[in-house]
Amino acid sequence: MQQWYFVAALLTILTSSQGILTTLSQSNGGYKYDYATVPFLAEVFKLLVSSFLLWKESKSSNHPQMTTEWTTVCLFPIPSIIYLIHNNVQFATLTFVDTSTYQIMGNLKIVTTGILFRLFLRKKLSNLQWIAIILLAVGTTTSQVKSCGESSCNSLFSAPIQGYMLGILSACLSALAGVYTEFLMKKNNDSLYWQNVQLYTFGALFNMARLLVDDFRSGFESGPWWQRLIDGYSFTTWMVVLNLGSTGLLVSWLMKYADNIVKVYSTSMAMLLTMVLSVYLFSFKPTLQLFLGIIICMVSLHLYFAPPSSLVDSPVTTKILPKCVDDVSVHLSTDSSHKVSHP
């Protein structure tokens, strides 16, 4: 199962395009459409695609495995509920800290994902992999360090304590949603498409509820959401919807066949790719910190995924295993085959 490399690479490219498409879909620095409709339509898109694939699978020779017990189905709205809480925590955090401090604190979710991944999914990570995860968070943060000469210049260290607490809570909730979804997808051998159908049905419902709540808050001054659903949509906006839906489907696939850490690497690399592309597309100034951040994240990627033997080979390997090597040679010599001659 080395397919996940390609899925992760594709997720990186699509997530990176998401930022660029969203910027391109703006006019005069603002949205002509209601941005809250985008995730709703993306959920609908994912639901349609998954339903179609499930239908195709059911037509094929081997029927898809589908658990329809209430005790299993009722687990599927939970990710949506976590995201709902997360959104509200995010809103509360932003009353204490500015956007760039919030963005910097967002990198904490890389570390919290590692921790919850270890605690809840009981996956063991080597010390080197822990170091790699910390480096990934440090690398993404480095790339976001404010350049000299930038206009807003608030110190990261001057926010009230509540801001930091909420930032940490936010990082934990974000990680929890990811880890919980992985648990859900790997819980049984149900068809991925069936799991997706359940996940996205609740996703679509929760997003619909959010649009309705927005309507009530604004006193229906611009009409109910279904009447203004695609108002102001351009071709680029549809691309944003399609792209968001596709990244969602790829994330589901990774949760089932790879894991949260792979997803975290994909999205972190996507953030750096977006910054590099912005240098070309929107003539952003390339900064030293972006360059350093990219090196740190590449090192992290290598430390996490490269086979450990390739990292600690010469000349240290011999030091780790003197006893073992001795034993082998003794064993082989009684076997009268003298092939091992390394010192």
- Asked if 307 touches a copy of itself (CB under 8 A), the answer is yes
Binding of a copy of itself at residue 311 (CB under 8 A)?
yes
Give the CA distances from residue 153 to residues 95, 104, 145, 150, 160, in Å, rounded to whole numbers and listed in that order.
17, 14, 11, 7, 16
CA atoms within 13 A on the CB side of 43: 19
Stretch in the footprint of a copy of itself (CB under 8 A) among 76-84, 178-186, 214-222, 310-318 = 310-318
Among 315, 336, 339, 342, binds a copy of itself (CB under 8 A): 315
Q: Is 224 in the site for a copy of itself (CB under 8 A)?
A: no
309 near a copy of itself, judged by CB under 8 A: yes
Q: Which of 149, 219, 322, 343 binds a copy of itself (CB under 8 A)?
A: 149
Closest CA to 176 of 301, 84, 69, 46: 84
Binding characters for a copy of itself, 85-124, by CB under 8 A (x = yes): -------------------x-------------------x
Token pair for 293: 């951040």
Q: Does 20 engage in binding with a copy of itself (CB under 8 A)? A: no
Instruction: Give the H/E segment covering residue 78.
Output: helix 77-93
The tokens for 241 are 């919807």
Separation of alpha carbons 7 and 10, rounded Å? 5
Determine the interface stretch with a copy of itself among 23-31, 70-78, 113-121, 129-137 (rule: CB under 8 A): 129-137
Residues 6+ apart with CB under 8 A from 88: none
**318 scored as a contact of a copy of itself (CB under 8 A):** no
Q: Does 312 bind a copy of itself (CB under 8 A)?
A: yes
Q: Which is nearer to a copy of itself, 217 or 342 (CB)?
A: 342
The single residue among 25, 112, 142, 201 that binds a copy of itself, judged by CB under 8 A, is 142
**Binding residues for a copy of itself, how many (CB under 8 A)?**
53
Helix (H, G, I), strand (E, B) or coil at 224: coil
Pick 75 or 156: Cβ nearer a copy of itself = 156
Tell me the closest approach of the beta carbon of residue 164 to a copy of itself, in angstroms. Answer: 13
Report if residue 1 touches a copy of itself, rule: CB under 8 A: no
27 in helix, strand or coil? strand
The answer to whether residues 274 and 20 touch, using CB atoms and an 8 Å cutoff, is yes
Min dist. Cβ of residue 317 to a copy of itself (A): 8
Tokens of 258: 């790879």
d(CA 220, CA 318): 73
d(C-alpha 196, C-alpha 187), whole Å: 14
316/321 Cα distance (integer angstroms): 9
Binding site for a copy of itself (CB under 8 A): 104, 124, 126-128, 131, 134-135, 138, 141-142, 145-150, 153, 155-157, 285-286, 288-289, 292, 295-296, 299, 302-303, 307-317, 319-321, 324-325, 327-328, 330-332, 334
